[in-house]
Chain A
Amino acid sequence: MSEITKEQVLHVAHLARLAITDEEAEKMTKELDAIIGYAELLNELDTDNVEPTTHVLDLKNVMREDEPRKWIDREDALKNAPDQKNGQFRVPSILD
């Protein structure tokens, strides 16, 4: 039986790029523990010789010529952006 800890929740929140408060982490720990606990129902299944299903259809690679096509121009691509400058998305500096 798994037991999710608050430390794990904080770590996963960081991986998921979600800021959470201490109280949220407490609540999330209980909820995730319950959900994961429920999911352990799957351990009843013998799946040693079972292939995983990623897609229900037989997918095959679809090839096409690597040719540029007109899609969205720069001006359009920027028009829903929260911040932009000089025709580019603007974000805070990533270097200190």
Chain B
Amino acid sequence: MSLFDYTLKELQEKLHNKEITVTDLVDASYARIKEVDDEVKAFLTLDEENARAAAKELDEQGGDNPLFGIPIGIKDNIVTKGLRTTCASKFLDNFTDPLYDATVVSKLKDKKTVTIGKLNMDEFAMGSSNENSAYFTTRNPWNTDYVPGGSSGASAAAVAAGEVFFSLGSDTGGSIREPAAFCGVVGLKPTYGLVSRFGLVAFASSLDQIGPMTRTVEDNAHLLQAIVGHDEMDSTSADVEIPNYTEALKQDVKGLRIAVPSEYLGEGVSDEVRESIKAALKVYEDLGATWEEVSLPHSRYAVAAYYLLSSSEASANLARFDGVRYGVRSTQAENMIDVFKYSRRDGFGEEVKRRIMLGTFALSSGYYDAYYKKAQKARTLIKNDFDKVFEDYDVIVGPTTPTPAFKVGEKVEDPLTMYATDILTIPVNLAGVPGISLPCGFSSEGLPIGLQIIGKHFDEATIYRAAHAFEQATDHHKQKPALGGVKG
């Protein structure tokens, strides 16, 4: 049994009773990385020397908060002071010395977690499979022929493979929940504005959120608790009262009103996924919750609206990568305009260029109203769908993805097929509501299936309550992938 098979609570007891040390935890993390990361390929950068020094110091100091001394992996679009941050882009290959920590990283340092390293992703978080990393493709620990999902694919894979206890990802259209589903872990996209985006390299500012990825719902609630809160460095950070998320887990789900959108079990959703969700609904019935079918009638417009809006925002956000202040500059350029043009040509990968082009087009003179503004209006209709359902229900439940993980290479040729992977997660970002994915079964090929639970704005507590009740009634989260031929 690995140390990371214990819950946070159990680990803290062991630390407190001096059965284990923080150094043991950090050793376990690097030992597991050495053992399996050749297969999983989750880490872009390791911070071993600093992590071991930090562990030693924490062992001397001691401390008692739920996260004390726990090894964590950080997605590589979250800025870490002095620790290379590349967004899995060649453009930032030489960005070895970031000047500050993202707010979430500062908050975790306050809680004395230990950063093990930076996790691979789709370049600038644009992708659903990790195949858009400029470095290498992270693999699904359950079967390394398959993708781990994206863009926080390595954040999910590293947790599933037991390389770190937990991790941070980011989610713009499903980038936490889809890989969580594919890798069989728990991933939450918080309500827009709940977690500070300061220090998250911006992709689409009106959609991006950082969130926790863990093995269990309870651990997820602990990690969220540590990173939430108003931040004056993020002008879209919400100033709301923060509940105690772990307290919420103690309540049962009797009388919980669940809505199941017919659009989420319809065309394109595989039979195995549909059966898993139906089985999950049966579990909820047995626990005393009720469910009814509802409609989110504008769901089919979400992917189109999302790609116009997120790409438009990305085209503006990525204008900062100009080869002047940081990043890689083309050596061919002789004048200023060519510094921009050639540096961006050399530094950005194909998908990033495609989205910058799409966004620039949608925002360009003569097309703005037809595409960008039209998409913003579609977003309103999609958001209204959710508002209406939440008048009568506590949570919305459905699959996280239409199918389990697909094979590496299967969808790379056709951007539109790849974009459709996120059809069930994108509407959640457009509406700004929170959503979680947790394991609810396995396909005949042994690949995890994810259950998505969506809540009202700032009602993560109810999502956790519903997720925890399901998890405790089932044992999907106790399954572990076989890596190196041995069950972890």
Q: A53 touches which one: B100, B329, B383 (CB < 8 A)?
A: B383
Chain A residues 1-49 with CB under 8 Å of chain B are: 4, 8-9, 12-13, 15-20, 28, 31-32, 34-36, 38-45, 47
Which of A28, A40, A43 is close to B354, meaning CB atoms less than 8 Å apart?
Answer: A28
**Segment among B6-14, B66-74, B141-149, B303-311 that sits at the interface with chain A:** B303-311
Which chain B positions have C-beta within 8 A of A62? 232, 235
Give bound CA distance, A40 to B232, whole Å: 39
CB distance from A32 to the nearest CB of B (A): 6
Q: Which residues of A contact B432 (CB under 8 A)?
A: 55-57
B329 contact set on A, CB distance < 8 A: 82-83
Q: How far is the CA of A64 from the CA of B233 in the complex (A)?
A: 12
- Chain A residues with Cβ below 8 Å from B461 are none
Q: What size tier do the contact residues of chain B reach? A: 35 or more
Q: Is the interface of B mostly helix, strand, loop or mixed?
A: helix
> What total of chain A residues lie within 8 Å of the partner, measured CB to CB?
50
Contact A17 B324 (CB under 8 A): no
Answer yes or no: B206 CB below 8 A from chain A CBs.
yes
Inter-subunit contact A72/B99 (CB<8 Å): yes
A35→B416 contact, CB < 8 A: yes
Given A53-B383, A54-B206, decide whether A80 and B326 contact each other with a Cβ distance below 8 A: yes
* Interface 9-residue window, one of B24-32, B34-42, B372-380, B395-403: B372-380
Asked if B482 is an interface residue, CB under 8 A from chain A, the answer is no
Q: Are B334 and A92 in contact (CB under 8 A)?
A: yes
Q: Which residue of A9, A42, A44, A94 has the most chain B CB atoms within 10 A of its CB atom?
A: A42
| Contact of A79 with B97 in the complex, beta carbons under 8 Å | yes
Which residue of B371, B373, B377, B431 contacts A45 across the interface (Cβ within 8 Å)?
B377
A76 at the interface (CB under 8 A from B): yes
Q: Give min CB distance, B326 to chain A, whole Å.
A: 4
Q: Say yes or no: is B325 at the interface (Cβ < 8 Å to chain A).
A: yes
Interface hub of A35, A64, A91 (most chain B Cβ within 10 A): A35
Minimum CB distance partner of A82 in chain B: B329
How many Å lie between the Cα of A15 and that of B374 in the bound state?
A: 22
Q: State the CA gap A51–B432 with chains docked (Å).
A: 16
The smallest C-beta distance from A43 to any residue of chain B, in angstroms, reads: 8
Contact across chains for B356 and A91 when beta carbons are under 8 A apart: no
A52 at interface, CB cutoff 8 A: yes
CB distance from B339 to the nearest CB of A (A): 6
**Within the assembled complex, what's the spacing in Å between the Cα atoms of A34 and B323?**
31
> Is the CB–CB distance between B376 and A20 below 8 Å?
no
| Nearest-CB residue, chain B, relative to A83 | B329
Residue-wise, chain B 242-276 has the 8 Å CB interface mask toward A (1 for contact) of 00000000000000000000000000000000000
Q: Give the residues in chain A near B356, CB-CB below 8 Å.
A: 16, 18
Q: Is the CB of B325 within 8 A of A81?
A: yes
The answer to whether B409 has its CB under 8 Å from any CB of chain A is: no
Q: Are A12 and B238 in contact (CB under 8 A)?
A: no
User: What are 11 inter-chain pairs, A to B, with CB distance below 8 A?
Assistant: A16-B356, A19-B342, A35-B358, A39-B375, A42-B305, A42-B374, A45-B378, A52-B377, A53-B379, A89-B324, A89-B325
For the A-B complex with A35-B416, A94-B335 known, give 5 more contacts whose Cβ atoms are closer than 8 Å: A8-B361, A32-B361, A42-B308, A45-B377, A82-B324
Q: Which residues of B contact A (CB under 8 A)?
A: 94-100, 192-193, 206, 232, 235-236, 238, 298, 300-301, 304-305, 307-308, 315, 319, 322-329, 333-342, 344-345, 348, 353-354, 356-358, 360-361, 364, 371, 373-381, 383, 415-416, 430-432, 457
